[in-house]
Amino acid sequence: MASEELTIERLYASPSLNGPSPTGIKYSPDGKRVTFLKAREDDASRYDLWQFDVETGQPSMLVDSTLLEPEEVELSEEEKALRERKRIAGRKGIVDYDWGTSDTILVPLGGDLHLVTLGEGGPETRQLTETEAYEYDARVSPRGNYVSFVRDGAVFVIDLSSGKERQVTPDAEPEKAISYGVAEFVAQEEMSRYTGYWWSPDERFIAYTRVDESTVDVIERFDIKADKTTVIDQRYPRAGQPNARVTLLVRDLEADKVSILYGVGPDTYLARVNWAGESLWFQTVNRNQTEITYHRTDGKPWRVWSPLSETQDKWVNLSKDVIGLDNGILLTTEETGYRHIAISPFGNQSDELIFLTSGNWAVDEVKSIDREAGLAYFTGFRDTPLEKHLYAVPLDGGEITRITEPGKSWSVTVAPDGRSFVGTSSSPAQPPQTGLYLVDAEIPDDKIPDEGNPLRTPDMLEPVAKRIAWIEENALDADHPYAPFLDMHATPEFGTLEAEDGQALYYSILKPADFDPSKTYPAIVEVYGGPHVQTVDRDWESISDQYLARQGYIVFRLDNRGMANRGKAFEDVIYRQTGGPEVRDQLVGVEWLKSQPFVDGDRVAIQGWSYGGYMTLMTILQAPEDTFAAAIAGAPVTDWSLYDTFYTERYMDTPQDNPDGYDKSSVFYHLDRLETGMPPLLLVHGMADDNVTFDNSTRLMAEMQEKGIPFELMTYPGQRHGIRGQALQTHLMKTRMNFLNRKLKR
C-alpha cells in the first residue's frame, strides 16, 4: 500500500502521529495502581487522568477533565509562568495530580482543587476549594491527612477530615515584592525547583521560603496580543544584577511556632530542600556557582550545620539526589568528572565518600532505594551516551546490572517497593511504549543460547526486566495514527566526529526513505548546542524530521561540546566563552556533511530555537562565506547580559568579571565584524516571551536595519518562549518551509 502524503496540517492535528503516550506516571502508595495522564484522541493538547490496575491489567479513565472543567478557565499569571517553566504551557485539562492515601488523589483543575476518592462504585469527586483566586502548587501531605497549596503568594493547608482551611505563612506583600512558599524565577527556570515549601514525613512541620524580590530589577515586558498590549512589570534578574533574597523557615504545626533556618541572597542561591527522615537537608550555591554546600538540621532547636560540599573549578551542576540511609546519606556528585553515586557515611565530610559507581560515563538520577534488597536503582548512560537505561547497584558496593533492554532509550518510574517499574521506551523505529515490568525476573534457561553461540551475552545471565503487561503498547499496526505514513518512515544513522581537542562528537543523519545515493540533496542542520540538553540519541524523533525527509531534505544533528551527559571535561570547554567552541564543533559537522557525495554543499541550511537560535546566529556569523544557503533563528539570545543570572553566570561568570567574554559571546560583536554578507535569515520570536525576552530580537532587528542587512521576520502575538496550539504550530511550520523551499529547492 502506497504511503499517504504527510501534510503540515496533519503534523499538528489530533490524534498525535506519535500515538498515545502516558505522562505523569505515578504508583499509588500501595502499589496496586499505576496512574497517568493521557491525551484525548480528539484533542491531543487536553489530558485526562487514567489508571492501570496492576492486578487485573486493565486500564480505565479515572477523571474526565471536561466534566470538572467544562469550559476553559483563564490561568493566573503565576500558573502561566509555572507551566512555561515546566514546558507544559501548551497542555489543557489535567496537567498535574498527587496521590494521597491509597484511595485518594488530588486533582488541581480550573484554579480549584478536587479530591478524588476511589471506591468500589467508582471514583467520587469532592471539590475542596471554590474561590476567585487561583490555587496552585497543590499536593497531599505525606500521610494523606492534609492538602496544601499556594494562593496569592501564601501557603494554606486543608484538614481533609474536617475540611477546615488554615493559612500557615504570612500574607504576601506584593507592594514590597515579598511572597511565601513560592519559587522565584531562576529557581523555576534554571534549577528545576518549582516549589517553595516542603512537608516533613510525619506531617508536623512545613519548611517554606520567604522570597524578597524587592532588589530584583523590574523588566517592562510587553505582552503583545492580537487585540491589546499589556505592560507587565516582571522581576527578572539579568546577568550581573541583584538576585532575590530567600529565607528558609519551618513551621511547627503542632506547637504553632515558626523558626528561621537560613537566609540567602543576593549572592547565594537556595537550590534544593529535602527531608531525609527527621533531618532537613538543603543545598546552597555560591554566586560564582563553584561550590554546592549541603546543610543539615535535625529538628528543634533547628541548629544548622554544613557537613558536606562539592567544589568544581568551572561550575557545579545541581542534583536532586539526597536520600537518607541508616549509615549515612546517598547522593550523586561530579567530583570524579562524571556524575556518580556515593554514600557519605553518617553525612559527615570528615569521612571519605564511598562511591557505588565509577567510570567515564554519567549517572542520570537515582530512581529508588530498595532497602530490603540493599539496592539502589538509577538511570544512566553506562552502555552508551546514546541510550539511557535503568540499572541496579548494591548499596554495599558490587557489580552494576543493567535492567532495561538495549537498542532504545528509557524513562522509568520505580514502584515504592523497588520490585517493579513502569518503563517508557522508544527507538528510532518505534514510538514510545509504556509497560509494567518486574525487576528480578531471569531469562529461562531454555531461552539462553549455548556457550559459544554469538547471541549469548553476559546480560542474559543477570537479572533483567520482564514485562508483566503493556500500559500503552502503542504498536505500529494498521490502527496506529502513523500507519498511513509508515511506508516512508526513515531512521537515522549515527556516528562520531572528532573535536579540536580530540573528544568524540556524536551525530545523527536522516536521509529520505527513498534515498538515491546517485543524487544530491539539500540538507538542514538542526542545532541546539546548549548545556544540559542532548539531541543525538536512540529514541523516537520528532515527526517534523520525517516531514523534512519526505520533502527531500537531509536532516543532520550534532551534539557539540558543552552539551549534556558526557562529563565535566566535555561541558567545561565553553566556560567564559559561549558561542566559540560550540560553533567550531558545529562547523566540524557541517564540513563533514558537505563532504558527503549525496549532499549538495551549496544548499545547506541551519535552524534552531532558544539556545539553538543563538547558535544559529553565532554559527552563520563565524562560518566561512557561503557555508550556508539559509538560516532560521527562533527566540534567540543575542546578548547574554539580557539573560538571567543563574543560567548565564554559571557558564559566563558576571559581565563585570568577564567583560571580554560577554563581548565576544554576543551576536552583536560578530555582526560588527561582519565583512561578507550573511546568508538569508528568517527571525522568529513570540511577542510575550518571558524567558528570552523579546528585546533580544528587537535589538537585533534594529542593528541589522542600521547596517542594511536584509532579513525576514515572523512574530507571534501573545506567544511566550514556545509557539503553542495547533493553528500556530501549523503556521510556524508553513512559514519555515516556505522560507527553506525558496532558498534551497531547485
Closest CA to 613 of 685, 509, 691: 685
- The grid coordinates of residue 376 equal 539502589
Annotated catalytic residue 610: yes
Among 610, 641, 665, 666, which one carries the catalytic annotation?
A: 610
Question: Using CA atoms, how far apart are residues 524 and 553, in angstroms rounded to an integer?
Answer: 7
CB atoms within 10 A of CB 578: 27
Q: In the chain, count H helices and then E strands.
A: 13, 44
Q: Sign (positive/negative) of CA torsion 531, 537, 543, 546?
A: positive
Question: Which amino acid is it at 627?
Answer: T
Label residue 228 exposed, middle or buried (CB < 10 Å: 0-12, 13-18, 19+): exposed
Question: Which amino acid is it at 76?
Answer: S
Quick check: 486 and 515 in contact, CB under 8 A?
Answer: no
Closest CA to 98 of 138, 58, 128, 153: 138
- The grid coordinates of residue 617 equal 546566529
Label residue 55 exposed, middle or buried (CB < 10 Å: 0-12, 13-18, 19+): exposed
CA distances from 367 to 239, 300, 361, 391 (A): 34, 30, 17, 10
Question: Which amino acid is it at 622?
Answer: Q
Question: Using CA atoms, how far apart are residues 566 and 40, in angstroms rounded to an integer?
Answer: 37
Quick check: 447 and 454 in contact, CB under 8 A?
Answer: no
Contact partners, residue 356, CB within 8 Å, separation at least 6: 340, 341, 342, 343, 376, 393, 394, 395, 397
Bridge partners, residue 470, by sequence: 435
Among 689, 690, 695, 697, which one carries the catalytic annotation?
A: 689
- The grid coordinates of residue 502 equal 580530540
Three-state SS at 678: coil
Contact partners, residue 41, CB within 8 Å, separation at least 6: 14, 15, 20
Question: Using CA atoms, how far apart are residues 695 and 251, in angstroms rounded to an integer?
Answer: 42
The sheet carrying 122-127 orders its strands as 98-99, 104-109, 112-119, 122-127
Within its chain, how far is the Cα of 541 from the centroid?
A: 16
Among 295, 389, 670, 721, which one carries the catalytic annotation?
A: 721
Annotated catalytic residue 14: no
- H or E segment to which residue 332 belongs: strand 328-333
CB atoms within 10 A of CB 597: 8
- The grid coordinates of residue 687 equal 511577542
Question: Using CA atoms, how far apart are residues 200 and 253, in angstroms rounded to an integer?
Answer: 11
Closest CA to 370 of 414, 332, 417: 417
Closest CA to 151 of 173, 171, 177: 171
Quick check: 342 and 349 in contact, CB under 8 A?
Answer: no
Annotated catalytic residue 102: no
* Backbone phi and psi for residue 402, each to the nearest 5 degrees, phi listed first: -80, 130
Question: Using CA atoms, how far apart are residues 213 and 231, in angstroms rounded to an integer?
Answer: 19
Task: Give catalytic residues, as residue numbers.
Answer: 610, 689, 721
